[in-house]
Amino acid sequence: MTDAKGKAALVTGANSGIGKDVARQLALRPEIARIYLACRNQDRATTAKAELEAETGRRIFDIVLMDVADLGSVRAGLAAIDGSIDALVMNAGVIGPQSMALTTDGVTNVFATNVLGHVALLEGLLAEGRLGKVAVFAGSEAVRGVPRLRMKRPSFVSTSADELATVIDGSYFANRKPDFNLAFGQAKYIGALWMAYLARQYPGRRFITVSPGNTTGTQAPSDLPLPMRVAAKYVMPALGLAHKLDVGAKRLVDGVTDPTLSSGAFYASAANKLNGPMVNQADFLPDLANPTFQDNANEAIHRFIT
């Protein structure tokens, strides 16, 4: 983003956790004049808006009701937004056993929430000429697997559009036990490939995937089985393997504001780390820089945009 005044930002999943703190940190920047809080629940959004106004002393927050797991709701939310969005932060996400269920669009909830709704949102803004310079997608270290959390690394036979589509509609797990951790990593992997595809199509804009890293103080562990919940909330912070909410949120804010980050790249913690400085993941995940895989991800996704 430039230093010009009067910029508008939109953050999905802005009523709690990282998304809410991204909204807070963006509001502290004088060039930001409007922040849309895209949330699925009016009461939670209203509470968050009041807290953000009190914390930042700025009354620049507008609620947009949007369930990103529902394409119809995304489009209705899009229609309710006035003007252009200079900075789009696609933060809403879910993980957990319930996220394997299918939505009315025939997509797993984990894919719909983390990726598909954001595709409809971003591409809707692009089609209407209302997307400004930068879009940031919340990635995850799960893209490369996290052995410490027993999260398997997503791996594919051919990474064809047909194969990636099986992730999106859940048929990947038709003949095996559903693994919600793997499905989460797969969704973030396909999302990062899609962002890299967009970066090639629109060289004048910046499409950055950023993982907040292992971040405490969010609601994310609440849908996880008890042992994982305990590990995420207590064990990992005690072992220094997680950082605080403002640190994780700042990574996404850096995605918006740091012009040295390369469009199309995915930034996350260094190899075998879950916190600390961010590095470009293509250094050790060359698949992410493969244009054929990026095209395949884009094609697979668009089979489900109805």
Ligand X SMILES: NC(=O)c1ccc[n+]([C@@H]2O[C@H](COP(=O)([O-])OP(=O)(O)OC[C@H]3O[C@@H](n4cnc5c(N)ncnc54)[C@H](OP(=O)(O)O)[C@@H]3O)[C@@H](O)[C@H]2O)c1
As a whole number of angstroms, the distance between CA 72 and CA 78 comes to: 10
How does 215-238 read in b/e, with b if 16+ C-beta sit within 10 Å?
A: bbbbebbeebeeebeebbbeebbe
As a whole number of angstroms, the distance between CA 280 and CA 183 comes to: 22
Using CB under 6 A as the binding rule, whether residue 159 contacts ligand X is answered as no
Backbone angles phi, psi at 79, to 5 degrees: -65, -25
DSSP states of 273-303: -SSSSEEEGGGT-GGGG-HHHHHHHHHHHHT
Binding track over 95-124 against ligand X, x by CB under 6 A: ------------------xx----------
Q: How far is CA 127 from CA 61, 122, 149, 168, in A?
A: 25, 9, 40, 23
Q: Which of 99, 181, 209, 215 binds ligand X (CB under 6 A)?
A: 215
Strand partners, 268: 279
Contact by Cβ (8 Å): 291, 264: no
Using CB under 6 A as the binding rule, whether residue 17 contacts ligand X is answered as yes
Using CB under 6 A as the binding rule, whether residue 294 contacts ligand X is answered as no
Residue whose CB is less far from ligand X, 200 or 279: 279
Using CB under 6 A as the binding rule, whether residue 181 contacts ligand X is answered as no
Both tokens of 217, joined, read: 């103080």
Number of residues that bind ligand X (CB under 6 A): 29
Q: Which of 108, 140, 269, 275 binds ligand X (CB under 6 A)?
A: 140
Helix (H, G, I), strand (E, B) or coil at 102: strand
Residue whose CB is less far from ligand X, 84 or 98: 98
Q: How far is the CB of 172 from ligand X (least distance, A)?
A: 19
Q: Which of 91, 99, 108, 296 binds ligand X (CB under 6 A)?
A: 91
Using CB under 6 A as the binding rule, whether residue 233 contacts ligand X is answered as no
Q: Which of 28, 30, 41, 127 binds ligand X (CB under 6 A)?
A: 41
Q: How far is the CB of 203 from ligand X (least distance, A)?
A: 26
Q: How far is the CB of 69 from ligand X (least distance, A)?
A: 4
Contact residues for ligand X (CB under 6 A)?
12-13, 15-19, 39-41, 44, 67-69, 91-94, 113-114, 138, 140, 211-212, 214-215, 218-220
